Amino acid sequence: MSADTTTAQEALTFADLGLSPKVLSAVTDAGYTKPTPIQAGAIPHSLQGKDVLGIAQTGTGKTAAFVLPMITRLEKGRARARMPRTLILEPTRELAAQVEENFVKYGKNNRLTVALLIGGVSFDEQEKKLERGADVLIATPGRLLDHFERGKLLLTGVEILVIDEADRMLDMGFIPDIERICKLIPFTRQTLFFSATMPPEITKLTEQFLHAPARIEVARAATTNSSITQRLVKSGSKPWDKRETLRNLIRSEGDALKNAIIFCNRKIEVSDLFKSLQKHEFDVGALHGDMDQRARMAMLDNFRSGRLKLLVASDVAARGLDIPDVSHVFNFDVPIHAEDYVHRIGRTGRAGRSGKSFTVVTRGDTKHLDAIEKLTGQTIEWHDGDLSTLAPVTEEDDAPRRGRGAPKRVRGKADGERKRDHKRGRKEEVVEAKPADVQEFRAEVADIAEERRTRKDAIKSDNASRGARPGNASNQSRRDDRRPNRSNDDLNDGTVGFGDDMPAFMKIEVKV
């Protein structure tokens, strides 16, 4: 895309995009003054009935990029029983529910019937809605196919298909379901396809199911907001060491910590950490895929309304959720994908407020940490160089899991905590640490610094030899990853990007 095209798109207003007056009025009521790049790029094409390939992550305004033109196009025509006119596929129930909220917000001047087909909710209610006829069907793939197989749904009337968060669908094993669904919908439909990244499996899917799509690409966020104070915190690598480190951090933040999201890499860690924090009497909730829909919604509501202070979540469970500004983000695990770091900490420091993020780092994390620093072009400071404050004290909650080969309880700085446990009348076994245990731990955390220094030197000399600044190499390779088909003219329709700047709309306070 030429610089002229980009500038022209930047100057666009919502009124220039071709949306209906009813939709424009709802957008004005939502308080948006300017379309985001993905909206400016995708809306005109989708209003013309073209297929769209939107490469954009959540937070870029991509939901409105497909919801607004859909509502405009649905103003003509009516829904028939069991034959939805449009279908939106989402990987998780929360995302599906969030898209439904978007229809309520942007469709307030339109009389649309929206049906949500997600797991964890009774079939009966959903069937009744289908029976009445739905203009918009928002579904997770599994539940959609369940309804289809029960004979309660016909997909032959679908005029517009949206596949959202395609790469997340891939991670969650939904691609065979998506392929099946695509084959059940008329070939003449319009398809709007969104993915944050374009791994080969997703590219294959787009080649199979999109027809001459307009490609709109929004660069991934590679910068972190300067109003977020970011710190790294050294920890021993055992789960109980990390939990102790986290508890110390939470306590040391005192009243400055209004509310926090604690990110883990896997759902098993979410569950373990949640139970542990609960045991230690923190005001905590968790979001993970195994909870039923009602429990997850209730948990989110409690957190949004301030009734819960801490929320433990995985990237998958938290992805795309419109969670309001939080004072703190803790990375219990260093994220495996560097971009996830930017998204995680972007939950704080919104709307010009200050925020804090702490990342618990163990010896095995240096590779991922380097990738984060390379992506953001920043060196993240250590919170407290004094390792003595982070002596590994294992806790009572780990005791039931101890078997042979399990770690010994080490007497450290958290004596006060153990006293409190005594007061609560809990039985406690304390095994005095052998000097060798402590030494081993200290050697381990000291090695983190050394290993990182070595890696950094290697990266520096690599960059120097390429004449690149630290962020460039990774930016380039990420872009290449997402453009395997750059030679394909069909896919080269329009590319817009945020460059290195945090887009202003991302700093706008989120209303809930």
**Main-chain phi, psi angles of 110, to 5 degrees:** -115, 150
What the block records as the tokens of 460 is 């520096």
Q: Which of residues 264-283 bind ligand AMP (CB under 6 A)?
A: none
- Residue 394 · residue 414 · CB < 8 Å: no
Select 217 or 373, whichever has its Cβ closest to ligand AMP.
217
**Main-chain phi, psi angles of 479, to 5 degrees:** -65, -45
* Region of 163-171, 414-422, 454-462, 503-511 interacting with ligand AMP (CB under 6 A): 503-511
For position 16 contacting ligand AMP by CB under 6 A, the verdict is: no
* Region of 29-37, 210-218, 373-381, 488-496 interacting with ligand AMP (CB under 6 A): 29-37
At its nearest, how many Å lie between ligand AMP and the CB of residue 62? Answer: 5
**Main-chain phi, psi angles of 49, to 5 degrees:** 85, 10
For position 505 contacting ligand AMP by CB under 6 A, the verdict is: yes
- Tokens 């890499």 -> residue: 265
At its nearest, how many Å lie between ligand AMP and the CB of residue 197? Answer: 15
Edge to edge, what strands does the sheet with 328-331 contain? 284-287, 310-314, 260-264, 328-331, 355-361, 228-234, 381-382
Sequence-ordered alpha helix ranges (H) in 11-155: 21-30, 37-47, 62-74, 93-106, 123-132, 141-149
- Residue 237 · residue 362 · CB < 8 Å: yes
At its nearest, how many Å lie between ligand AMP and the CB of residue 95? Answer: 9
At its nearest, how many Å lie between ligand AMP and the CB of residue 434? Answer: 52
Q: Identify any residues that bridge with 52 across adjacent strands, giving them in sequence order.
A: 192, 214
Select 19 or 155, whichever has its Cβ closest to ligand AMP.
19
Q: Which of residues 151-210 bind ligand AMP (CB under 6 A)?
A: none
Among 9, 24, 35, 243, binds ligand AMP (CB under 6 A): 35
| CA dist., res. 35 & res. 318, Å (int) | 25
Select 58 or 348, whichever has its Cβ closest to ligand AMP.
58
Q: Could you give the 3-state DSSP secondary structure of residue 274?
A: helix
Q: Which of residues 111-140 bind ligand AMP (CB under 6 A)?
A: none
Q: Identify any residues that bridge with 495 across adjacent strands, giving them in sequence order.
A: 217
Among 16, 253, 322, 370, binds ligand AMP (CB under 6 A): 322
At its nearest, how many Å lie between ligand AMP and the CB of residue 14? Answer: 8
What the block records as the tokens of 62 is 């991509």
What the block records as the tokens of 20 is 């209906």
At its nearest, how many Å lie between ligand AMP and the CB of residue 98? Answer: 7
- Residue 64 · residue 105 · CB < 8 Å: no
Select 35 or 392, whichever has its Cβ closest to ligand AMP.
35
Q: Is 115 exposed, middle or buried (0-12, 13-18, 19+ CB in 10 A)?
A: buried
* Region of 31-39, 272-280, 410-418, 488-496 interacting with ligand AMP (CB under 6 A): 31-39
Select 102 or 126, whichever has its Cβ closest to ligand AMP.
102
Edge to edge, what strands does the sheet with 86-89 contain? 114-117, 136-139, 86-89, 160-163, 190-195, 52-55, 214-217, 494-495
Among 84, 213, 236, 320, binds ligand AMP (CB under 6 A): 320
* Region of 176-184, 205-213, 220-228, 504-512 interacting with ligand AMP (CB under 6 A): 504-512
At its nearest, how many Å lie between ligand AMP and the CB of residue 196? Answer: 10
Positive or negative, the CA dihedral 241, 242, 243, 248 is positive
At its nearest, how many Å lie between ligand AMP and the CB of residue 38? Answer: 8
| CA dist., res. 429 & res. 240, Å (int) | 15
For position 224 contacting ligand AMP by CB under 6 A, the verdict is: no
At its nearest, how many Å lie between ligand AMP and the CB of residue 505? Answer: 4
Among 443, 446, 458, 510, binds ligand AMP (CB under 6 A): 510
Select 36 or 259, whichever has its Cβ closest to ligand AMP.
36
From start to end of 90-218, where are the E strands? 114-117, 136-139, 160-163, 190-195, 214-217
Among 36, 72, 224, 357, binds ligand AMP (CB under 6 A): 36
Q: Which of residues 334-353 bind ligand AMP (CB under 6 A)?
A: none
Which DSSP state fits 230? E
Q: Which of residues 49-108 bind ligand AMP (CB under 6 A)?
A: 58-64
Could you tell me how far CA 331 lies from the centroid of its own chain? 13
Could you tell me how far CA 81 lies from the centroid of its own chain? 35
Select 165 or 244, whichever has its Cβ closest to ligand AMP.
165
# binding residues, ligand AMP (CB under 6 A)? 17
For position 42 contacting ligand AMP by CB under 6 A, the verdict is: no
Select 33 or 379, whichever has its Cβ closest to ligand AMP.
33
At its nearest, how many Å lie between ligand AMP and the CB of residue 12? Answer: 11
Give the count of alpha carbons within 13 A of 58, CB side only.
23
Select 58 or 259, whichever has its Cβ closest to ligand AMP.
58
Among 23, 32, 43, 358, binds ligand AMP (CB under 6 A): 32
Select 157 or 320, whichever has its Cβ closest to ligand AMP.
320
* Region of 32-40, 157-165, 195-203, 291-299 interacting with ligand AMP (CB under 6 A): 32-40
Select 165 or 365, whichever has its Cβ closest to ligand AMP.
165
Q: Which of 146, 149, 154, 201 is nearest to 179 (CA)?
A: 201
Non-local (6+) Cβ contacts of 11 within 8 A are none
- Residue 274 · residue 312 · CB < 8 Å: yes
Question: Interface residues with ligand AMP (CB under 6 A)?
Answer: 32, 34-36, 39, 58-64, 320, 322, 505, 508, 510
